[in-house]
Amino acid sequence: MMTPTLLSAALLLLLLSGAPAADSQTPISINVMNSVTNAPNQTYSTHVVFRGILLGAMRRLQASNVGFSFTYSEDSNYGPFLESVNGLDRCSHDRTYWELLVKNGTVTADVGIGCYIPNANETIVLNFKQY
């Protein structure tokens, strides 16, 4: 069992180590694009907590009432699957889906909204497109 003095010393070392606080905020941008109809892009600013996932930032943004909304379904094997953004639904009949890109649309993320951990000042692109 650790003594109170040892616990205090361990806590002090953790605080002095420069480790980010669990509630520190990492600013990101979310850019909504539509490659099917070429509608104007929409850009939103939000944040994730230290090492937080994109889904958390999207939920925070939706709750802020700035005009951003999304829906997703839960796949038992792959996790959250993006269904719609700002009222525009993916559609298997029309062969449309929401693509997740990073770094101004040049890199396809290899994970989904439930696993992707954004970096500070990164632009996440949600691109509506056809396959």
**Residue-range domain boundaries for the chain:** 21-130
The pLDDT of residue 90: 96
Residue 113 pLDDT greater than 50, yes or no:
yes
Check the CA dihedral 36-37-43-47 and report its sign: negative
Q: How far, in Å, are 3, 26, 64, 93, 124 from residue 79 at the CA level?
A: 42, 23, 24, 23, 19
CB 115 within 8 A of CB 21: no
- The residues facing 82 across adjacent strands are 72
Read off the pLDDT band of 25 (50, 70, 90): very high
Note the pTM of the prediction, 2 decimals.
0.78
Read off the pLDDT band of 53 (50, 70, 90): very high
Residue 7 pLDDT greater than 60, yes or no:
no
Correct CATH for 21-130 of 2.170.130.30, 3.40.50.1100, 1.10.10.60, 3.40.630.30: 2.170.130.30
Please identify which residue in the block is written with the tokens 């003594």: 3
Q: Kindly state the average pLDDT of the residues 110-126.
A: 91
The pLDDT of residue 111: 85
